[in-house]
Amino acid sequence: MAIKLTQEQVNSWRLSKNHLDKRAPKVDMARVVSDLCGVQAQVLSGAALSIWARVDNITIHDVEDALWKHRTLVKTWAMRGTLHLLSSKDLPRYVAALKTRRDPDPGANPVPHRTWSRRQAISHHACQAGTGNKSHPRFPEPAHSDKGGAGP
């Protein structure tokens, strides 16, 4: 037997699960990001705005502090090879899931100048950072490709 739901019930549930029905307290910022399975962060101010819509009384500085001071959030390449903010506690889970991804064709690499071994090294250092290691990993300077791509 199928459950009958009204459009209003569906909308209410979706708003609630996306933390858009009421704002969470500031101390729950990392939990909100976790519940959302990450926040798109190609531009940090866009990620901060997305979090601001869901968390009460935060500023861009609170998001920056969560990243660089408290380390409750991490900015990394995740789904679709794009930058996301993830909860530091969730980072090992995402790294493990992304390790199952295979690049059948070097041309399929979403970030062409980043080799598989370089992505593994970044993942390793990101996991260390997510587990409370306060040192900042130093990555080797990126090799410049003939296609104009450079950098991590």
**Residue 23 to residue 19: CA distance in whole angstroms:** 7
How many whole angstroms from its chain centre is CA 26? 18
Q: What pLDDT does 147 receive?
A: 40
pTM for the full predicted model: 0.66
Cβ atoms of residues 73 and 38 within 8 Å: no
Say what the pLDDT of residue 80 is: 80
Task: Write the CB contacts of 94 (distance below 8 Å, at least 6 apart in sequence).
Answer: 38, 76, 78, 86
What's the pLDDT score for residue 118? 66
In a domain, 8, yes or no: no
pLDDT digits (tens, 9 = 90+) for 94-104: 888 877 766 55
What is the extent of the structural domain holding 54? 27-99+115-130
Q: What is the pLDDT of residue 95?
A: 86
The helix/strand/coil state of 60 is helix
Indicate the number of domains in the chain. Answer: 1
Give the pLDDT of residue 140. 43
Residue 18 resides in a domain: no
Residue 93 lies in a domain: yes
Residue ranges of the chain with per-residue pLDDT less than 70: 101-152
Residue 83 lies in a domain: yes
The CA R_g of the chain, rounded to the nearest whole Å, is: 18
pLDDT at 65: 96
- Look at residues 106, 98, 57, 66 and name the one whose alpha carbon lies nearest to residue 85: 66
User: Is 105 part of a structural domain of the chain?
Assistant: no
- Any domain includes 42: yes
Residues 125, 137: Cα–Cα separation, whole Å: 6
Is 147 a domain residue? no
- The token duo for 25 is 């307290």
Please report whether residue 70 resides in a domain: yes
